[in-house]
Structures are given as structure tokens and as C-alpha cells.
Structure 1
Amino acid sequence: MKPVVRLSGDDDAVRAIGREAVDVLRARPQVASALFARLWSLHQRRRAFVARAAAQPVSSAPGVPRMAGSTGYRAVWGVLLGVGLTAALVTAVMFGPSDRKNAFLDPGVAVAVALVAGVVAIPFLLVVLLLRTPDAQSARAAETLAILVGLVCAGLLVFRLVAGVDDGRGLSSADLSWWAPMTAVVVLLLIGIAIRSDVVRRSAASREGRVPAAGSRGDDLRQMRRDAEWAASAQTDAPSKASWVAKLDALGDHVDPAATAQARTMTPAAWLAWMSYDGEIEISGVVPRP
């Protein structure tokens, strides 16, 4: 593809020359009507493309590295979550049903470990719940892990509330009286983390859905370039060339001399094509609507 032509002069100068180009092309109505329709289509697509690019956050643009502070925050947040989840799981399994794995575990040791783990789990999970979730990827991982650990903790809590302490392990009702509320608080915190992470994940997915993929943007840009080149290649006959030069001469010092000098090297169709491609210069009032 040919390089994009950037028109000289401010918007008023470009539009003033554009109006003269339209007058020249109107001498050939059949050619002009098709050209003007293509120019309006190009202009509207290009304006939408430029607006999307301006609205897209810099952090989501491809190829932009994340800030070091963001990486550090994500690491700290991940450690807090990992410690909280591990402690929550330990708190729950220490009061699990009697089986081959814990049949020989001293009840006093199990109770002590569960108490320490619960004291660690609650503040860590609370901090994670209150802190900002770093990104969508972290949110997906946190949601999945919180649900899995939460199901284990909730299941063991329900089991112990139903079965009580009469399972041969030697646990006492006094142990259950503090363990059950502690585990219930842990489950509530895990539910909160899962819900908040789900909101962050869905919000990020919605934003990604509104921003066109990089490949799609590239295809749109190439097609707009081709349309601009097609419009710029429209032939100009001898009478139209003479009329174009005369109109540029008549503009004199009323517009930027650099703009008129550039226009002399271009055809009227080429000037209108690259004016429409610009995306920020308004062509209404210059190019007739189809």
C-alpha cells in the first residue's frame, strides 16, 4: 500500500480547499455521486476507528509492558490469598471425619493446629477481600480456588454440625463450639472473595468484548487505506484540471499557502480522499451526503 498522505494546513484550510474540489468534481455528476458515497463511508468508518483507539485504555493496548509496581502488588496479593486459602483448608480438615489418615492424630494436636490455622486464615482472607483484585487473570484464579476451598470447608462444617463429636476421635463439644463459628466465618469470607472475583472477571471480559481484536483492527485499517487509495486514484480530465488550478489561484492568501501548494500537486479526488481518511476533520458541509 502507498503511504498515507497528511494534508497541510489547519482544518479550515483543508475544508476550504475541499469545497473547491467538490465544485470541480460536480462537473461530472455520474463520477462524483459514486465517489462522494465512498468518501462518506470511508469518513464514518475512519472516525469510529479513531474514536475507539482514543477511548482504549493504554494499559490494555498490546505490547505495553505492565508497571513493575503492578507486578509486585499482584505477587503480594497472591501470597496473601495463598496463605489464607491454605490456612482455611487446614482449619477445616483438622475436624474432618475419622478415617485412616487422622485416626492416630492426637485430638489435642488437631484442635491446636485448627485454632492456629483459623486465626491465620480469617485476617488473611479479610485483607484479600478488602484489597483491589490485581487483574482479570488473578480474579479467575481466586474465584476458582475460593469456590473449591469453600466447598470443602462448608462440607466439613455441615458434616461436623450433623455428626457432632461422637465419632471416636476424642473431640469435645467445647472444641466444636469455637471451631464451627470460626469455620463459618471462613466460609463467608471465601464466598465474598469468589463473588468479588467473579465481578472483576466479568467486567474485564465485557471490556474485552467491546474492544476489537488487534487482528480485526488491522484488517479494518488496511481496508480503509485501500478505499482511500481507490478514491484518490479517480482520474481528472483536462477541463477539470484547469478548473482546479483556477480555483486554487482564486483562494490566494485566504488559506494557508502550504495547503494550496500541496493541493496543486494532487487531484481534487485525492484531496477529498485523504481529507475523509483523516478521521478528525469533519467533512459535513464539504462533501455532499449520498
Structure 2
Amino acid sequence: MVAVARAAVRTLRRDRTTRRGLYPRLVAHHAARRRLAETPVPPRAPFARRVGLALWWLLYAAGLVAVLAAAALAGPPGRKTAYLRAEDAMPVATTAAVVGVVLLGVVLVLRTPRGGGTPLAATTLGMTTGGLVLLLVGYRLVVGTGDDRGVTADQLRTWIPPAVLAVLALVAVTVRVDRTRRRTPDEVPAGAGRRDQERHLRRRAAELATTAPARPAAEVTAEWHGRLDRLERQGVDPRTTAQARTMTPAAWLVHTFDDGDRDVTGILE
């Protein structure tokens, strides 16, 4: 592993720009990995925090389902609504909209969980659901009673206020969780949980592995493979060199420095 890493360094020796951009970040990444490896595994999150996270997701998911149901039940005619009469669907849609407003209102009051991928997942889910809801609600607002669903003017007047409020609540929640996602720093703070630190380091390693050399890629690859051939003749395990051939020199260095328990002293010299 170390011998192959030294070969990668020799391959990149003429790429001054690559070395200046990559090597300091490799050293910092390995130091972060070592600190994490030396940190005792913390106890699980307090029970109250886990319950709070589960409750937040339950309310959020139920609110999304309620708003989506309110929009879908009042949506355009189709196979799924062919046997559902408007006189049955619209009261349920109105009730679902009210439930959605209440649930998402509670979510707005609660603090949005940070870390663990919650803001990103919640934002993605909210935007996907919101786009579909806007299309369905927009259709009913534009068409009104003008299609063959049989929606009456009274049913429409009863449905519109809670449906619009439900859409506004969904937009407000989505904006809030997206703001939380944007405020989550890219660099994980020292007090972050171990899982968040692991996730951040994996993401940073993947980014570093994509570092492209300043020289033409074909030239770098030819030199890299030539050095690997010489290592094989010197007795390096062919399985290691075979794995290295599937990676660029920069990616192999990242692979080496991503292990906090490995001694990387002098490799970059």
C-alpha cells in the first residue's frame, strides 16, 4: 500500500499545481481521520432526542400525506377517480386539507432536526410532494367545476380555503427545512456527532479522489501503469497493483490517507 502510494507521488511529481492543491488537503484529511479513530465511540443519543426526531418525522410525513390526499382527491378525472364520486371525495379532501394544515403547523412550531441527513431528506421530500400538490391544486383552481368530475360550486368553495392554507403550510415548512440545510456547515464542527463526522469525511474523500492532474490524462496514466509494472516485478502483491490500476494516482493517495490508523509519514516527500 505505502509503496504504491510513493509511486503515485512520483507520478504526480511534475504536476506542481496538483500537488499544491491536493497534498495539504490530504494531510488535513488524514489528521481528521486519525482524530476520529482515536476518539472513543460516544454513547447513543439520549432517548428523548431519538423520540423527538421520530415524532418530527411522523408529523412531517403525515402532514405531507394529508396535503397530497387533499389535492389528489380533488384532482382531474382519471382511472383512479373514475369510481370515486365528487360528493364522496370532496368532503374527504377538505378534511385532509385541514388535517394537513394542523400537522404542518405543528412541524413549523417544532425545531427542525439538524444533522443525520434530516434537512436534506426533508427538503427533497417536501419539494417533490409540493410540486405535485401545486399541479393538482392549480388544476382544480383553474378548472373549477368545468370538468366531468361532478364537483359542485359549494364543494369547491368549502375545499379551496383549507387547500390553499395547506399549500402555504407545505411551502413554509419546505423553506424552513431548506434554510436549516443551508445553514448546516460543510465543515463538521468539533462537537458534531460521530456519524456526521464520518459522513463528512467520506464526502470529502470522494471529492479529493476526483482531483485531475495538470498534465494530459493519457500521459499520467501511462506513467502510473509503468510504475505499477515495476512494483510488480519488485514483488508487490499483484492484487494491490491491480486495484491501483483502476484508480488514478490522486485517488490512490486519497485511499491511503483515508485510513486514520495508517502511518503516512514521509509518503508525500
Given the two structures, how large is their TM-score scaled by the length of structure 1?
0.51
Change in CA separation of 1:122 and 1:222 when aligned onto 2, cut-off 3 Å: same
The corresponding residue for 1:150 is 130
Q: Please identify, of 61-70 and 153-162, the stretch whose mean Cα deviation from structure 2 is larger.
A: 61-70
Given the two structures, how large is their TM-score scaled by the length of structure 2?
0.55
> Out of 167, 179, 187, which is 1:199 matched to?
179
Q: Please identify, of 123-132 and 99-108, the stretch whose mean Cα deviation from structure 2 is larger.
A: 99-108
> Out of 47, 63, 66, which is 1:84 matched to?
63
**Rounded Cα–Cα distance in structure 1 between residues aligned with 2:186 and 2:177:** 14
Change in CA separation of 1:134 and 1:151 when aligned onto 2, cut-off 3 Å: same
**Rounded Cα–Cα distance in structure 1 between residues aligned with 2:82 and 2:40:** 55
Counterpart of 1:66, as a letter, is: A
Counterpart of 1:116, as a letter, is: T
Deviation at 1:69, TM superposition (A): 1.4
Measured on the aligned residues, the alpha-carbon RMSD in Å equals: 3.2
Question: Are the counterparts in 2 of residues 140 and 201 from structure 1 also a CA contact under 8 Å?
Answer: yes
Change in CA separation of 1:62 and 1:76 when aligned onto 2, cut-off 3 Å: farther
Secondary structure of the structure 1 residue equivalent to 2:188: helix
Secondary structure of the structure 1 residue equivalent to 2:81: coil
The corresponding residue for 1:63 is 41
Greater gyration radius: 1
Structure 1, unaligned stretches of length 5 or more? Answer: 1-48, 228-290
Counterpart of 1:111, as a letter, is: M
Question: Are the counterparts in 2 of residues 70 and 134 from structure 1 also a CA contact under 8 Å?
Answer: no
**Rounded Cα–Cα distance in structure 2 between residues aligned with 1:112 and 1:181:** 13
**Rounded Cα–Cα distance in structure 2 between residues aligned with 1:132 and 1:102:** 38
1:153-207, Cα deviation, whole Å (9 max, x unpaired): 1111211122111211111112212322222211111111111111212222434
**Rounded Cα–Cα distance in structure 1 between residues aligned with 2:184 and 2:170:** 21
Deviation at 1:208, TM superposition (A): 2.1
The percentage of counterpart residues that share the same residue type is 32
Change in CA separation of 1:95 and 1:213 when aligned onto 2, cut-off 3 Å: closer
- Map residues 111-190 of structure 1 onto 2, 5 A cutoff: 111-136=90-115, 137-190=117-170
Question: Are the counterparts in 1 of residues 133 and 167 from structure 2 also a CA contact under 8 Å?
Answer: yes
Counterpart of 2:52, as a letter, is: Y
Deviation at 1:92, TM superposition (A): 0.4
The corresponding residue for 2:225 is none
Deviation at 1:213, TM superposition (A): 4.3
| Displacement over 3 Å in runs of 4+ | 209-219
